[in-house]
A = this chain, B = another copy of it.
Amino acid sequence: MLEPFDDSYYMKKALQEAEAAYEKGEVPIGAVIVIEDRIIARAHNLTEQLNDVTAHAEMQAITAAANFLGGKYLQNCTLYVTLEPCQMCAGALYWSQISRIVYGAKDEQRGCGVMGTKLHPKTKILGGVLEQEASALIKRFFIQKRNLN
């Protein structure tokens, strides 16, 4: 049976991106952007490799999606990201006027929720999709990192 194109389906694609980050020694966070059941951007965190705090998965995905669409606004798009966006990424999503944000695990320390970052009035947000998987991958990364140091 074919898998339906639902939130879990796209979050699995974002998790694949997070795994790619993991394999590069990056904090494992991945993102995809979808319009009309089509993935138009895939990205994962590259802050270590690029030595750049702005290289979060979401930021790269926003740039890639706008490039694909030929316009800077991401109306009718949904971002799937394995961890709740931070202030920077939520701020970028604000400017993009994206229609929907779906995240996996909540970031209780630095997530846009606890930090009070404002989203665009046009943007809906939903958390907790494949939360366990997203959270387990991040925990595994930090346990391994601790053991290596």
Q: Which residues of B contact A75 (CB under 8 A)?
A: none
Q: Which residues of B contact A47 (CB under 8 A)?
A: 72
Taking a contact as CB atoms closer than 8 A, the residue among B48, B63, B70, B90 that contacts A91 in the complex is B90
Complex formed: what's the CA distance from A62 to B51 in Å? Answer: 11
Looking at chain A, what size class is its interface with the partner chain?
A: 20 to 34
Residue in chain B with minimal CB distance to A118: B115
Residue in chain B with minimal CB distance to A69: B51
A59 beta carbon closer than 8 Å to chain B = yes
Chain B nearest CB from A47 CB (Å) reads 6
Residue in chain B with minimal CB distance to A56: B95
A76 beta carbon closer than 8 Å to chain B = no
- Further contacts, 18 of them, CB under 8 A, given A53-B62, A91-B117: A47-B72, A48-B72, A52-B66, A52-B67, A53-B66, A53-B72, A53-B95, A53-B96, A54-B63, A54-B95, A86-B95, A87-B87, A87-B88, A87-B94, A88-B89, A88-B90, A90-B91, A115-B117
